[in-house]
Structure 1
Amino acid sequence: MGIERTLSDRKGKNFCELPEEKITNSKSRKKNRRRHKKAAPPVQKLFDTCKDVFVSDGVGIVPPPQHIQNLQSVLDGIKPEDVGLTPDMPYFLTNVEQRIPRITYLHIYECEKFSIGIFCLPPSGVIPLHNHPGMTVFSKLLFGTMHIKSYDWVVDLPANSSTTLKPSESLASETQLAKVKVDADFTAPCNPSILYPADGGNLHCFTAVTACAVLDVLGPPYSDPDGRHCTYYLNHPFSRFSVDGISIPEEEKNGYEWLQERVLPDDVEVVGHLYSGPKIVEN
C-alpha cells in the first residue's frame, strides 16, 4: 500500500483534493528527513567496529588485517570533542598540593572480548612500563605530546642460557631480555599505534610531555581469573648483566634492555572517573 492511499484512508476525501504540488512536496520532505538521519556519534561507531573486530575473545588471537585497518581508520577520525574532552578540564591540570601527577582513567565500555577507555595525563604524568599478555592494543593520542617507549621480548635465546650477574648485582625476581621497539615523542594528530601479542611493542611506558589524553582499545581486556595480569617492569641497560651464549654487536646494545618484574611503584597514582561523553548504545 502506498503512502498516498494510507493517508487518504486516514484523513478522508479532503486529502485527495489537495493540489498535486503539495503532495509531491510532502513526499520530498519525508525522503529528505530519511536521507539526513542523524549519524551515529564517533564513539558509537567505535563500539560497533570493535564488536566486528573482536569477534573472538581468545588470548593471542590477532584480528584479520582488514578488521585491524577498519578499527585503525575509525580511531584515526576520533577527536577530543567526540568523547567530551577539552585540554582545560581538571584531569589535565597539575595540582601543587599533589606530590605526584594524578592520572585519570575514564571507563567507557568493557566486555569479555574488548574494553574501551581513556587515560588523561597532566604534564609529567607517567604510566609505568607494563605488558599486555595475549592482547591486541590500539592507542590513539587525542591531543598533546607524549613520550612512548615500547619493547618486545627477545624470544630466540638459546635454551641453555643462564643469567650471570656482575659482582654486587642481584635480582629480586626474574629478568628477561627485551628489544626496544619505539623510543620517541609523539604529538597529536598522529596515527594510532597497534601493539600485538608478540610484537609491535607489547610492553610500553607513557610519559606526558604536555597534558595529553590517550584513547585505548584492548582486545581481550585484562582479566586476572583468565591469567591476563598487568605486570609492571623496571628497565636496566643491557651492559648491566651478562648472559652465556648471548652476543650483540656493540653498536646495537642500546637497542636492548633487561626488564625486571616489579610491583606498581608508589610514585604512580591512577584514579577512575565517570566518562561524561556521548553514551554507547548496545544493540
Structure 2
Amino acid sequence: MPRDNMTSTVQKIAKQALTTFRHPSVVGEHNKVFLENLSKLKSLMAEVRAADLKIVPRTVESAPMPSQRIAPPVTCMHIYETDTFSMGVFLLKTGASIPLHDHPGMYGMLKVIYGKVRISCFDRLAKPRDGVSGVQFNPPLMPFQMSSLRPSVLRSVGEYTEENGSCVLSPQKDNIHQIDAVNGPTAFLDILSPPYDPDEERDCHYYKVLHAHSEAADRKREAQEPGDLWLMEIPQPSEFWCGGEPYPGPKVSL
C-alpha cells in the first residue's frame, strides 16, 4: 500500500537522487562514492510500482470522437525539480514513441511502472571509423544537413517492464535514445540530472538515423557486419508532442 509522503518510496528516491547528484564535482563513473550512491538509487527505483504513485495503469485507449481534440501521444506528470535533478512520470499511449533524442551532459534514469517499453540507445563516435570521403546517402543530403551529421553506433536495444530494474543513461554512454511503447500503453518514472536548461546548453535535440553508402560500408554489408550509422539532427518530429496531467501521488519534500 502507498505510504505517507515522509516515508513513501518516491520520497526516498528523491532524497537519494539529491544525495547522488548534489555535488557535480564528484559525479562520474570513476568516483567510488558516486557509484555507491548511484547503486542505492537504482535499488530504490527498482522497488517503485504504480500503486506507490497512486497511478492506475491505463488500458488500451479508445479512438477520440470526431469533435474531440486529438490527445497528445505522450503526457508527463511533474513530481519535483531542483537545480540538481527533475523527477516525473511519462505516460505513453499505445503505439507511441518518444523519438530519438539526447540528454546533453545529463544522467537519465527510468523505471517502468506498468506496461512495456523498448529503449534503443546510440552513442556518437569521436570521428568516422573509415573517414568521411566517399560517404553517400540516399536520397542525397544538402550541404547544411551534411554539416550536422555525426557517426554513431547502436549500443543496445532492450525491453523493460515493471519487473525489471531501472535503465541508466549517462552523459558518455547510451545518451541518445528512443523509447517506444510495446503492446499497449505504458508509463515510467523518470529522473534527469541536472534538469534540462537551454541557458546552460542542456537543451533537447532530436535525431534521425541514416545509413551510409561507401566502399567500407558496402564491404561490411557483404560480410554481414553492421554498416556505418550516422545521426542527423532534425527538428522535433511533428507527430510527437508531450502534454501534461496532474500527479496524484505522494508529494516530495526536500
Report TM bin, short chain.
0.7 to 0.9
Residue-pair matches, total: 240
Matches within 5 A, 1:72-151: 72-88=42-58, 93-97=61-65, 102-151=73-122
Residue correspondence of structure 1 range 27-106 to structure 2 within 5 A: 40-57=7-24, 61-62=28-29, 64-88=34-58, 93-97=61-65, 102-106=73-77
- 2:206 maps to 1:232: yes
CA distance in 2, matches of 1:223, 1:154: 24
Q: CA deviation at 1:154?
A: 1.5
* Alpha-carbon offset, residue 187 of structure 1: 2.8
Secondary structure of the equivalent of 1:251? coil
Query: Pairwise mapping of residues 131-280 of structure 1 onto structure 2 (< 5 A)?
Result: 131-157=102-128, 161-162=132-133, 164-166=135-137, 169-171=140-142, 172-173=144-145, 174-199=148-173, 201-209=174-182, 210-237=184-211, 240-242=212-214, 250-253=223-226, 256-280=228-252
Distance in 1 separating the partners of 2:215 and 2:105: 27
Amino acid at match of 1:187: T
Deviation string 1:62-93 (CA, Å, 9 cap, x unpaired) is: 5721011010001001111111111138xx73
What TM-score comes out, normalization by structure 1 length? 0.75
**Is the deviation greater in 98-107 or in 173-182?**
98-107
Q: Quick one: which amino acid aligns to residue 74 of structure 2?
A: I
TM-score normalised over the length of structure 2: 0.83
Paired amino acid for 1:191: G
Give the superposed CA RMSD: 3.0
CA distance in 2 between counterparts of 1:68 and 1:133 reads 19
Q: CA deviation at 1:45?
A: 0.3
Residues 160 and 216 of structure 1: CA distance in aligned 2, closer, same or farther (over 3 Å): same
- Cα separation, partners in 2 of 1:151 and 1:60, compared to 1, 3 Å: farther
- Which of the two has greater helix per residue? 1
3-state DSSP class of the match of 1:266?
A: coil
Q: Deviations over 1:24-81 (max 9, x none)?
A: xxxxxxxxxxxxx997011110111011101224698457210110100010011111
Structure 1 unaligned residues grouped into runs of 5+: 1-36
Output the CA distance in 1 between the equivalents of 2:26 and 2:150.
22
Q: Which amino acid aligns with 2:51?
A: E
Instruction: Name which of structure 1's ranges 53-62 and 273-282 shifts more when overlaid on structure 2.
Output: 53-62
Q: Note the residue ranges of structure 2 that are not aligned, 5 or more in a row.
A: none
Q: Deviations over 1:219-242 (max 9, x none)?
A: 1111100001100011123xx343
**Which structure is higher in RCO with an 8 Å CA cutoff and minimum separation 6?**
2
Q: Rg: which structure is higher?
A: 1
